[in-house]
Structure 1
Amino acid sequence: MATNTKRKESIADRVYEALKDDIFEFRLIPGDKFSESDVGTRLDASRTPVREALHRLRREGYVDVLFRSGWQVKPFDFQQVEELYDLRITLERAAMHKICALAEEPPIVRTLIAIWNPDHPTERAVGSTVRALDESFHCDLVAAAGNREMTRIHREVTDRLRIVRRLDFTRRDRIDATYAEHAEILDALRQGLARDAADKLTRHIRASQKAVREITLEKIREAAAAQRERRSG
């Protein structure tokens, strides 16, 4: 029994990762509808692990279940994204002021400086590593402020924005900007310039927000056009 349960969990995990990747890479675009049997046939999985994977994606906000008509990739809600970015900025600005008010500089600041201000451009991270480092940069700074509730809420906001924020690192110019802007924020923090650090951080996040909105719309248009071409062909 335990072996069968473990196997089902493994298949559910595989289905979950495959569907999430399809959503992230716009092979399934916002508004797309599908059934559990569609997924099972395509991914060679039975109904139970498929359903488990879909309910997990639903809890994370990626899909919706439709009454008597299967499932749907959650339509993109730009207003909700805007509101989450506003909340993120509020939390991170507060963190800048709290860090600068501490008696001693948090050790994480030195660690982040080493990552985001490398001695040579060839030492910069690439691809998905940059994305992970960027997320850690913002989360680590909020955590360094020492407010556990602020850290928890910020982590929840970060999780909900991950689907769009990852797109900010698909363009070289945005990666370059991220390195430069992170270094400037850290420099202001090291000097104890709370307002300057908060303002630099706000400009950095707003630039990223604008970029991911543009890239998201472009990706959705491209994916929709490709779908129409496949259907007409």
Structure 2
Amino acid sequence: MARKRSGIGNGDEKSTPTHTRAVRAADSVERVYARIKDFAIDYRFRPSERINEVELAAELAVSRTPVRAALNRLERDGFVASVPNKGFYARELTPEAVRDLYELRAAIERGAFVLACERATDAEIEATAEAWTRHSSLEDEGSWAKIAVADESFHMALTQLSKNAQMIAALEGLCARIRFFRRIDLESAPRRERTYREHDAIIDALRRRDAAGGASLLEKHITLSSAHAIEVAARGLARIFTGTAA
């Protein structure tokens, strides 16, 4: 007897429910998005390079559909750009691009600090200060890369004290876009030492709820001079084109 086809009403086999397939597809897109985002953060795609979707899909062992969905999302997030009828391209790395990102970051954090002085409780301020104090010994850190992670966490914590969800979300996205440059910037021992001193001064201003003074300190702490932006961009490009970016 011929074997019956599987399908609705056939008790021999069960088809995968539609909602389960949809969940799996969404999960696949999220995983692909996270992987490609990591590539973009670390400049695995060289600046202004066309992204080969076929090769990327093969490397991630997926179809082009989740790759295309991830790239569209990454374009909205500022990690890639698209050209009609040509495809997606990696983000640029120029001194002006680096400077612009840091100026935007300074504007967000300055505003968030003012709100934090108004809205944060004393306990929340002390918890933020204590979290940073755990990283306050350069000798204990042992790695500039760890300090870069701690630095990002500290600045996110400051912004979270603003209790402004839009500022927090904006800074989270921006931190990912500048993570590559933050690591390079903090490779310099003098820059790390200055970071520690300035963080202590910012915490002191927050404890005193000195909104104007602390906001000014933050802006100076974050904003890169034109010369510094050129230096960071040059070091970044050297890393990328010698294969040591990550």
- TM bucket by the smaller chain? 0.7 to 0.9
The Cα of 1:201 is off from its aligned counterpart by: 1.6
| Structure 2 equivalent of residue 89 of structure 1 | 106
Query: Matches of 1:220 and 1:21 in 2, distance apart?
Result: 17
The structure that has the greater radius of gyration is 2
Report 1:44-55 matches (<5 A): 44-55=61-72
Bigger drift between 209-218 and 164-173 goes to: 209-218
Query: Matches of 1:112 and 1:192 in 2, distance apart?
Result: 14
In structure 2, do the counterparts of structure 1 residues 161 and 76 end up closer, same or farther at CA, with 3 Å as the change threshold?
Answer: farther
The Cα of 1:164 is off from its aligned counterpart by: 1.8
Larger helix proportion, structure 1 or 2?
A: 1
In structure 2, do the counterparts of structure 1 residues 92 and 27 end up closer, same or farther at CA, with 3 Å as the change threshold?
Answer: closer
Q: Are residue 115 (structure 1) and residue 125 (structure 2) matched?
A: no
In structure 2, do the counterparts of structure 1 residues 3 and 172 end up closer, same or farther at CA, with 3 Å as the change threshold?
Answer: farther
What letter is aligned with 2:70?
Answer: A
Instruction: Identify unmatched segments of 5+ residues in structure 1.
Output: 227-233
Aligned to 2:47, the other structure's residue is in SS state coil
Query: Matches of 2:97 and 2:19 in 1, distance apart?
Result: 41
In structure 2, do the counterparts of structure 1 residues 43 and 77 end up closer, same or farther at CA, with 3 Å as the change threshold?
Answer: same
Report 1:126-145 matches (<5 A): 130-145=147-162
**Higher relative CO (CA 8 A, sep ≥ 6), structure 1 or 2?**
2
Report 1:139-218 matches (<5 A): 139-145=156-162, 148=164, 151-153=165-167, 155-170=169-184, 171=187, 173=189, 174-206=191-223, 214-218=231-235
Bigger drift between 86-95 and 107-116 goes to: 86-95
Instruction: Identify unmatched segments of 5+ residues in structure 2.
Output: 1-17
In structure 2, do the counterparts of structure 1 residues 177 and 92 end up closer, same or farther at CA, with 3 Å as the change threshold?
Answer: same
**Per-residue Cα deviation, 1:45-71 (whole angstroms, up to 9, x for no partner):** 112222222222122121223322222
Bigger drift between 84-93 and 13-22 goes to: 84-93
The Cα of 1:221 is off from its aligned counterpart by: 3.5
Mapped contact 2:93–2:237 kept (Cα < 8 A): no
Per the normalisation by structure 1, the TM-score is 0.73
Mapped contact 1:96–1:197 kept (Cα < 8 A): yes
The Cα of 1:205 is off from its aligned counterpart by: 0.7
CA RMSD of aligned residues (A): 3.5
Identity %: 27
Query: Matches of 2:233 and 2:115 in 1, distance apart?
Result: 34
What is the aligned residue count?
Answer: 222
The Cα of 1:77 is off from its aligned counterpart by: 6.2
